[in-house]
Amino acid sequence: MNLVLLGPPGAGKGTQAAVLSQRLKIYHISTGDILRQNVKAGNAIGRKAMEYMEKGKLVPDEIVIQMVKEAINAKSSLSGFILDGFPRTLKQARQLDELLSGLNKNLDLVIDFKTTNSVIIKRLSGRRICRNCGANYHIKNIPPRIDGVCDKCGRNLYQRNDDKPQTVIRRIDLYRKSVTLLLDYYRKKAILEIVSGDLEVEPLYKVLIDVFKKRSLLQGYKIKK
């Protein structure tokens, strides 16, 4: 089963992708994570990406697509993948289709997490990140044992500027303006499903399992509660 998860920042895509990956043994590909991994490794594609990042520019689609291709090939033995954070544009969606066609693969389903502004702001404004190891926390949902201190490495936690309420609203507006063509593209392919990103983790997981059953995508998978 090959999936794409769409939704605004704070919709819970990453959390749900991690749950599905663990319970269904599907490879979770976060484009943000694989970008950081390649940069940290200092390999050829990571060095190319860093050239743009150091100039404050977006990493070109061609480089991101290559990273996605390598990530899919690296875990080709697993029973599918979940793309989280990609594609973001119609151009990227078409490039992804070309990539998958070349690998004799296809997308089975694209899931859009519809989420209200109030829920997103509540989730993101409570997020805290470790300056040292990058571990994620939430002041209510996943609090550290000691306020403001990372459980893993003992360093300070901070709130990203992107997670402050006024910035979150701008990010939501930008996402919603940019995603319309992308949703139309997948709707015409008849592989788009819409779910409520306002739901908590377990209720949303059950909704997704029902969607997979409706689409007959669970053959061969052992569903873990």
Positions marked catalytic: 13, 88, 127, 160, 171
Quick one: tokens of 108?
A: 């089975």
Distance CA 204, CA 199 (A): 6
Pairing of strands 27-30, 2-6: unpaired
In eight-state DSSP terms, residue 199 is S
Question: How long, in residues, is the chain?
Answer: 225
| Alpha-carbon distances of 53 from 9, 56, 108, rounded to whole Å | 21, 5, 32
List the structure tokens of 99: 């990539």
User: Based on the number of CB atoms within 10 Å of its own CB, is 131 exposed (0-12), middle (13-18) or buried (19 or more)?
Assistant: exposed
